[in-house]
Amino acid sequence: MKKLALLGALALSVLSVTALADEKPMKIGIEAAYPPFASKGPDGKIVGFDYDIGNALCAEMKVKCVWVEQEFDGLIPALKVRKIDAILSSMSITDERKQSVDFSNKYYNTPARLVMKAGTPLSEGLAEIKGKKIGVQRGSIHERFATEVLKPLGAEVVPYGSQNEIYLDVAAGRLDGTLADATLLQDGFLNTDAGKGYAFVGPAFTDVKYFGDGVGIAVRKGDKADLDKINAAIAAIRANGTYKTLQDKYFNFDIYGQ
């Protein structure tokens, strides 16, 4: 009987440890300066598509989300030193980033665009970009594209810590334009009072070399356990309608893409 009691106690102990392990929160890094994907509401709380998707994924995985705010260019370093467990902050899946982190399957995919004064001529060859001052977010795929493609064409590329700072300088005339995600530019600038008189110019940019295979969730290299759980959760919310409900809250088109 004593042996049975001991075995029972051990079994309960193992179950308790397992339960505690399952309850370990997932610390998710996010930059809350990227509306409509992530920004601060009037009450100071984070709102946006990325934030809602993250909470839906955590609910599906039955883990607690702990959101950790960080400037975008500090997210991968924070992941590497284990300050966070994952990055969910509109981070595009690129070969360059795959050298530092592992990515989930995509959870959305949109092109990059240039925004400048409405009526600014810009052909497919981008020759008219010469002499233009273009703001980009530091550490982003858009900075890399602007540096490697627009700068050799004569553009002056100016990196900023956040996209909101760029909007202020575009509206004030200190920049001729900005390059960023099309959806971000539409909702975060063009649809606002500050964006009146501005428009998308030139072509949409989708080169996989720079813009990757969509936007995914980053985890540390080799973290297969979290990656498998996240991928399963993405598939689940796509299948059960949760994804579409959250998408329709922010967008009037299929942001998931092809």
**Are both 233 and 203 inside the same structural domain?**
no
Position 198 scores a pLDDT of: 97
**Are both 240 and 228 inside the same structural domain?**
yes
Residue 7 lies in a domain: no
Q: Which residues of the chain have pLDDT under 70?
A: 1-23
**Are both 104 and 219 inside the same structural domain?**
yes
**Are both 33 and 88 inside the same structural domain?**
yes
Position 6 scores a pLDDT of: 40
Position 1 scores a pLDDT of: 43
Position 256 scores a pLDDT of: 92
- Give the chain's domain count: 2
**Are both 94 and 118 inside the same structural domain?**
no
**Are both 120 and 104 inside the same structural domain?**
no
Residue 32 lies in a domain: yes
DSSP H or E segment with residue 22: helix 2-22
pTM tops 0.95, yes or no: no
**Are both 237 and 177 inside the same structural domain?**
no
Domain that holds residue 238: 24-109+214-250
**Are both 105 and 218 inside the same structural domain?**
yes
Tell me which residue has tokens 């909007």.
167
Position 23 scores a pLDDT of: 64
What one-character-per-residue DSSP string does 116-179 give? EETT----TT-GGGTT-EEEEETTSHHHHHIIIIIGGGT-EEEEES-HHHHHHHHHTTS-SEEE
**Are both 192 and 145 inside the same structural domain?**
yes
